[in-house]
Chain A
Amino acid sequence: MAEKAIMAGFGGQGVMAIGKLLAYAGMLEGKEVSWLPSYGPEMRGGTANCAVIVSDTLIGSPIITDDATAAIVMNLPSLDKFESDIVKNGKLLINKSLIEKEATRDDINAYYIPANEIASELGNAKAANMVMLGAYLELTKIVKPESIIKAFTKVFGEEKAKFIPLNEEALKKGAEVVK
């Protein structure tokens, strides 16, 4: 089994971060992982994205071209850019809070998640990325949410441990939307 996920959004929405968490969690579970970011000027204020592969077997190319099993899109430009890269019957997770448009393809499964609203209700709009990740984990079961939490301080440092309860809650709420 291999999950090939694209995560995309504005710089600052934390798409690189949830990608790293997913990759780290996969590694902690003994899976093969890769995390490949977009880099360069487009990251400064523009749309950022990363490609994460979590697999039971060795990963060949870390690049995801038109074979994404899922895409998490946090803003409209990301939806427009990556919808076409998803495989048939793949998953498209759309941040409904910021994207009014719906998926145009009918051969994929689209999920609409009001990530910013849910995060705001939890007290921190910045956790919208974790809401999306929670939904993604519920749909794919590729890693356990506990592994994401274990990875949290590895990725962000011990001083960020105080944010774990909020992020744990965000993962749960995201999962509930797609249950």
Chain B
Amino acid sequence: MKLLKSLLNQRTRSRTVTFALVIAAYIGVTVFKASGNMTRMVSSLLVPVCCYIVAAIGLNLNVGFSGELNLGQAGFMSVGGFTAAIVNGLTLSMIPNDIIRLILCIIAGAIMAGFVGWLISIPVLKLEGDYLAIVTLAFGQIIMSLLNNLYVGVDKAGVHFAFMTNTLSLQEGGKMIVSGPMGVTGNTMISSFTAGFVLILVSLFIVFNLMYSKEGRAIQACRDNKIAAETVGIRVSSTKTLAFVLSSALGGAAGALYMMNYSSVAATKFDFNTSILILVYVVLGGLGNMTGTVIATTVLVMLPEMLRFLSSYRMLVYAIVLIVMMIITNNEKVLSATESFRRKMKKKGA
């Protein structure tokens, strides 16, 4: 019984630490903001940081737990973002309450991205390793090109879609929501730091609870050994699909939150570089390590802006930080040192 108890404790510990960290950061930032000492630059980064954290949590589910390298997370963000903008445009007059509309937008973005993720997963999960990565990369590019040529407008007669050329002839009082290469225009900015904070908590809650359940074990089992997973009765393809769909849905929710923070966003914002950036946050935070992902994302989104005073040396310092983080998180000596430290702490605790 005692052994069982200690196991349960260990299982919930990393969860408690992560939640405590996020909540403490939220309180700290809110107090700091209220004191009036926060620069505009930092406060304008708060929502994007939350978005990238959620997208990275989703990607870590796929890359860290499911073991599938996905280079198209930004594609799912854009699906979620554009869906959110359209839903917002449609419901603007019906639902005056910003918070309810924001929730609706995020849920719609997550569902749409999850659905697209499910469609993509049918061909993609038949592939492995490099091939899978290449297809997800291509998916990201395709989504970007498609959205770059999409025109959506709304008027009294309802919502209108056009592709390639703007053939929408909206009635009097009609409004463009998506205008091709310009992307989403005239969006209402209803995202807030609090909304981002809540979204992070919800994502962490979903991912942690799922990972410490039979589905989570199955997802990790399929990553470690597909053949063995099958012979203990785990359906590999449906298990991998679950991870992929949930990962893309979280990407979509992040994209929705991001979109609703700006009045206009072009599809090219969610390009290959964004996908790679999110992957960098995940890898440097540690595969399968949610606490690490949250910290790494926060640091690496903030850092380039914080270093602006270094002007052209900025990216140089950024690169050095990346390399140092890589060494620290992957160096055997450092890892074994932290491991023995953890064990010592455990002994003291027991």
Q: Do A and B come from one complex?
A: no
